[in-house]
């Protein structure tokens, strides 16, 4: 089963590791997973408009990143809050590689181990 490790950037709380089921959870976002395990990722709208839930995501282990592609809304919000430049957007298209900054309310994980820094 895939493993998600949540790490606070501010060092307020130690790492929290969560094993999650892939089957049937392909619509569960990182934010929902965090809420289920009392991980305090900040959020406001839960719809990808505000950028409050921006997190840094890195794949752990030797698997290639599988995280879903950016939605148009997520892409626009990440640009507006300064986490993603237009050149980086093009790179995500050409390299088929998700960027490190994502919105927790939009990101749906696949079968991969990841570190989520909030």
The number of folded domains in the chain is 1
Residue 27 belongs to a domain with what CATH number?
3.10.20.30
- Residue 116: helix, strand or coil by DSSP? strand
Quote the domain boundaries for residue 30.
3-117
* Helix or strand run (H / E) with residue 73: helix 72-80
Report pTM.
0.85
Determine the Cα–Cα distance for residues 35 and 114; give it in Å rounded to an integer.
17
How much of the chain is in helix, strand and coil states, percent to nearest 5?
Answer: 20, 20, 60
**22 band by pLDDT with thresholds 50, 70 and 90:** low
Mean pLDDT, the chain, as a whole number?
A: 84
Predicted local confidence at residue 98, as pLDDT: 79
């Amino acid at each position: 089963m895939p493993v998600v490790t949540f790490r606070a950037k501010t060092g307020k709380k130690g790492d929290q590791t969560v094993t999650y089921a892939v089957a049937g959870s392909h619509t569960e976002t990182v934010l929902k997973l965090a809420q289920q395990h009392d991980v305090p990722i900040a959020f406001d709208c839960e719809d990808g408009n505000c950028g409050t839930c921006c997190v840094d995501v890195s794949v752990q282990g030797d698997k290639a990143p599988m995280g879903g592609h950016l939605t148009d809304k997520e892409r626009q919000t990440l640009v507006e809050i300064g986490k993603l430049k237009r050149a980086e957007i093009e790179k995500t298209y050409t390299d088929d590689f998700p960027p490190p900054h994502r919105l927790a309310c939009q990101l749906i994980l696949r079968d991969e181990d990841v570190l989520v820094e909030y």
